[in-house]
Structure 1
Amino acid sequence: MKGAGSMILVLHGPNLNLLGTREPEIYGSDTLQDVDNSLNVLAGELGVELDTFQSNHEGELIDRIHAAREQGVRGILINPGGLTHTSVALRDALAGVAIPAVEVHLSNVHARETFRQHSYISPVAVGQICGFGVASYQLALRGLVMHLAR
């Protein structure tokens, strides 16, 4: 399942900088740095490189997606946070660059409030992983690397 040195962009959306302290009963006690550290360990095992980025600003996330095409990024792992349910612009950026993306969420968004059950991102993603806490990111990275290897 080696990714042959593929570059994967990992995008963390709004409020994910608060992981570990924000509603730990929903999102757990791991910090964003913990998430990135565990992803980097797994990336080494899978033979891929990661570029991780967090922003609370929609436009910055869109700019990173646009730049990914020029940087030779082969896949995008994205937790859009609350933008999942509101951002047509983020959806359009992902569709526009045509880089395979996997949507990831720590909680099971389908078992939460009704407004969280709709995603603008899922229709342009190759898959979605949610509900497994920090392990959601690891499962999503494995799935993305497997998709890219096909």
Structure 2
Amino acid sequence: MMQHADVDQGRICRSQPFFFTAIIHTSPLEGEPEPMQATQKFKVLIVEDDRWSRELMSEWVSLREELELQGLAASALEALDLMREKEASEGQGYDLILLDINLPGMSGLEFLEQVEELPFIIFTTAHEQFAVQAYEIGVLDYLLKPIEQARFDRAIDRF
């Protein structure tokens, strides 16, 4: 709380409000390093067997400045291969996986059991019955199809 003061011949007395101006410099002082800029984008893998849904989510990811689509897979097995290749070539995996549950060959839930280090996961599915199990695994969000872009954006904002 600001105290009341009066300036009387160079002295401050506690009777009247006083005002002052503070100049704050936002640039670093000479010799100090520049602050780091958040330019690194989060690497996204979309695992979706429906081509139309895959393309739509790809478009939505491309609209988000903080995201970079680095992989598309139509099945869990294809996604596992992409993850292994990325880890082997770059030494790091994906930051976020948009994952359908009902996939050919292996479900999204079975897929997660195969992944050693889980990135953030957002499930995209038409099936409500897996929501509790998904949250027990620790998914970031659970999007029910058909997904609207506003709902997609809210899920990404949680990331």
Contact 2:101 2:109 in 1 (8 A): no
Contact 2:99 2:122 in 1 (8 A): yes
TM-score where L is the length of structure 2? 0.55
The alignment of Structure 1 onto Structure 2 pairs a total of residues equal to 117
Cα distance in 1 for residues equivalent to 2:136 and 2:82: 20
Cα distance in 2 for residues equivalent to 1:143 and 1:118: 20
Per-residue CA deviations over 1:19-53 (Å, capped at 9, x if unaligned) read: 3xxxxxxxxxxx532331221111x2x3x322130
In our comparison, the structure showing a higher alpha carbon Rg is 2
Between structures 1 and 2, the one with greater helix share: 1
- Aligned residues: CA RMSD: 3.3
Cα distance in 2 for residues equivalent to 1:10 and 1:51: 6
Provide the residue aligned with 2:100 in structure 1.
Answer: 80
Provide the residue aligned with 2:82 in structure 1.
Answer: 64
* Counterparts of residues 37-48 of structure 1 (less than 5 Å): 37-42=59-64, 44=65, 46=66, 48=67
Between structures 1 and 2, the one with greater strand share: 2
**What is the deviation of 1:8?**
1.6
2:58 is matched with which residue: 36, 52, 75? 36
Contact 2:46 2:54 in 1 (8 A): no
Cα distance in 2 for residues equivalent to 1:127 and 1:40: 20
Give percent identity, aligned residues only: 8
Cα distance in 1 for residues equivalent to 2:123 and 2:153: 10
* Counterparts of residues 1-150 of structure 1 (less than 5 Å): 4-14=39-49, 16-17=50-51, 19=52, 32-42=54-64, 44=65, 46=66, 48-55=67-74, 57-70=75-88, 71=90, 72-83=92-103, 86=107, 89-94=110-115, 96=116, 98-105=117-124, 107=126, 109-110=127-128, 117-118=129-130, 122-131=135-144, 133-135=147-149, 136-144=151-159
**What is the deviation of 1:121?**
5.1
Unaligned runs of 5+ in 1: 20-30, 111-116, 145-150
* Secondary structure in 2 matching 1:140: helix
Structure with the larger RCO, 1 or 2 (CA within 8 Å, 6+ apart): 1
- Letter of the 1:118 counterpart: F
* Secondary structure in 1 matching 2:153: helix
